[in-house]
Structure 1
Amino acid sequence: MTARGGGSRHDPAKSIGILMLPSMLTVGAMCFGLTGVKFAADHRVDIAIAMVVSAAILDGLDGRIARLLKASTKIGAELDSLADAINFGVTPALILYFTRLGTSPAGWIVALLFVVAMVLRLARFNTLADDPTAPPYTRDFFVGVPAPAGALLVMAPLAAGQQFGHGWWSAPLAVGVWTMVVAALTVSRIPTSSFKTMTVQPRKAAGVLVAVGALTALLLTYPFVALLVISAAYLAHIPFAWRSKRWVDARPAAWDTKPAERRAMRRQQRLPVRPRRAVP
């Protein structure tokens, strides 16, 4: 998501090309997302999933490039929010409707409810992002599952069908229930990690690089398995994010510390206190 709150002021010396680059990526992401609907209607589920994943990748890039180039604009933020509603609300709902929900009235209701939940989630995100009274630690957490993650999670039944063939995960009832669960997570108050301020300690850098290499190899070899693994890992992280936010929320003194420092503080508190030996 493009960083909000940047306003429309910018350095007049910057070229229009630099200012437009993040918005160009946003428009490209929107084209990827809508093209996914076209492939779903053509029964090319594999390419439809790839289009949604590509839109999510571009969505992650446009905001970071905007901050890197200091090219955040008000119109870019509004365009990004509109593109998110299309890419991660309308597009997944239509893909599921055409491929798994049976194009029935009940399936259409499920698709509509998912879009409404995603739009409400994005509206809340925009409101919270512009809240000047929010504590500093809130930048490390989202309220509810963010839109790109929700779109990828709701596509899990399609990924399972592509990898393992038809099964209970392909039944319209199962897909409809799963879609409603994901919709509820997006509009919930459950905290999830934003990963924007995540840092890697130097001694753990090698392990992180190995993990990234393994994930990349899995994506290239078994992309649908990789999507399922990522979805499961994301769901598994939610209890840890909830506990982390609860911890820092109860300790205002830790609000301005970095996430790595907070983790060190929590580990220190969990260490057992050894009784001192009496001096003879």
Structure 2
Amino acid sequence: MTRSPAVRVLPSAVTVLALSAGLTSVKFALDGRPVMAVLLIGAAAILDALDGRIARMLDATSKMGAELDSLADGIGFGVAPGLVLYLTLLDGSNAGWLAALLYAVCIVLRLARFNTLASDSTRPPYAGDFFVGVPAPAAALAALAPLVATLQFGEGWWSDQRVVFAWTIVVAALAVSRVPTLSLKSVAMPQRLVAATLVLVGIAAALLMTYPFILLLLLTTLYMLHIPYAVYSSRWLKAHPEHWDRNPKERREQRRAGRRRVIPRPSRNRVRVGTSRLGLRRPKV
């Protein structure tokens, strides 16, 4: 089925909107309006999550769209957050500019590696369930966590330039590292958790309307806490190639079954040496 030009251009239009939101965040940071700067980068992250899914739903994927998406991510989640941090919490600091610059470079390098790995046919089948390093949108929101905390709670240790510098370097290192992180397509929703998930979605929506910065901090914390689990899952799959062709749900069941497997303990009733210790009675004299 041939798609109309208007439909095929829709995913790229969403990508351009994400790029525009990221760049406009810098403008608001220059104007002394950090709240709008943070919210626009959050909006860019949401739009970035939508454009690829829209392209696949409409069967409108293209090489130009992929290149445009990578370029928009580099600017919106690399350059823009780095400049916002420098203009707000790191202003006037040479070390702060170094951190912002290093962060932007690491995000661009991460995206270049992502494009290279996407065309690598030698990767194992399970590799698609993981990202290599922290994705650019997640890294952008994580890097802005000190600014978000400052906007919500006021100045504190989290707004100290040394803390912001160190945190920015850590996030940049995670983005360019080879640490595995979970992809959303590897997350399966068990039927028994559907109701609880809907309740959590409702709570998240309420937080978004009333305390958006609290929500951003919670999401950032949960994302950072999931990294050890992602590392464990990746290592388990690497050590069990017999499960590579199974879906993520079956793999998780196999991991749980392995953890629940009870290792038999040695019996406490030890065999003792001597006829009396073997349960034989000595003849009475």
TM-score, normalised with respect to structure 1: 0.92
Structure 1 residue aligned with 2:214: 225
Q: Could you tell me how far apart the structure 1 residues matched to 2:84 and 2:235 are?
A: 37
Q: Could you tell me how far apart the structure 1 residues matched to 2:238 and 2:225 are?
A: 21
Deviation at 1:274, TM superposition (A): 7.9
Structure 2 residue aligned with 1:88: 77
Match of 2:203 among 214, 219, 225: 214
Match of 1:124 among 107, 113, 127: 113
Structure 2 residue aligned with 1:19: 8
1:182-197 equivalences under 5 Å are 182-197=171-186
CA pair 274-90 structure 1, distance change in 2 beyond 3 A: closer
Structure 1 residue aligned with 2:256: 267
1:36-115 equivalences under 5 Å are 36-115=25-104
Alignment-mate amino acid for residue 66 of structure 1: A
Indicate yes or no: 2:130 matched with 1:156: no
Alignment-mate amino acid for residue 15 of structure 2: T
1:26-37 equivalences under 5 Å are 26-37=15-26
Indicate yes or no: 2:216 matched with 1:236: no
Q: Could you tell me how far apart the structure 2 residues matched to 1:101 and 1:64 are?
A: 36
Structure 1 residue aligned with 2:164: 175
What secondary structure sits across from 1:134 in the alignment?
A: coil
Q: Could you tell me how far apart the structure 2 residues matched to 1:86 and 1:237 are?
A: 26
Match of 1:201 among 174, 182, 190: 190
CA contact (8 A) 1:163 1:225 kept: yes
Q: Which moved more, 1:117-126 or 1:95-104?
A: 95-104
Q: Could you tell me how far apart the structure 2 residues matched to 1:129 and 1:47 are?
A: 34
**Higher-Rg member (1/2):** 2
Structure 1 residue aligned with 2:267: none
Per-residue CA shift, 1:177-229, capped at 9, x if unaligned?
11001000001111100112322121211111111111221121111111111
Structure 2 residue aligned with 1:4: none
Q: Could you tell me how far apart the structure 2 residues matched to 1:104 and 1:74 are?
A: 40
Q: Percent identity?
A: 56
What secondary structure sits across from 2:155 in the alignment?
A: coil
Q: Which moved more, 1:107-116 or 1:146-155?
A: 107-116
CA contact (8 A) 1:102 1:172 kept: no
CA pair 105-145 structure 1, distance change in 2 beyond 3 A: same
Structure 1 stretches lacking a partner, 5+ long: 1-10, 276-280
Alignment-mate amino acid for residue 205 of structure 1: V
Match of 2:242 among 237, 248, 253: 253
Q: Report how many residues are paired.
A: 264
Q: Could you tell me how far apart the structure 1 residues matched to 2:205 and 2:227 are?
A: 23
Deviation at 1:133, TM superposition (A): 1.4
Q: Could you tell me how far apart the structure 1 residues matched to 2:205 and 2:172 are?
A: 28
Deviation at 1:105, TM superposition (A): 2.2
Deviation at 1:75, TM superposition (A): 0.3
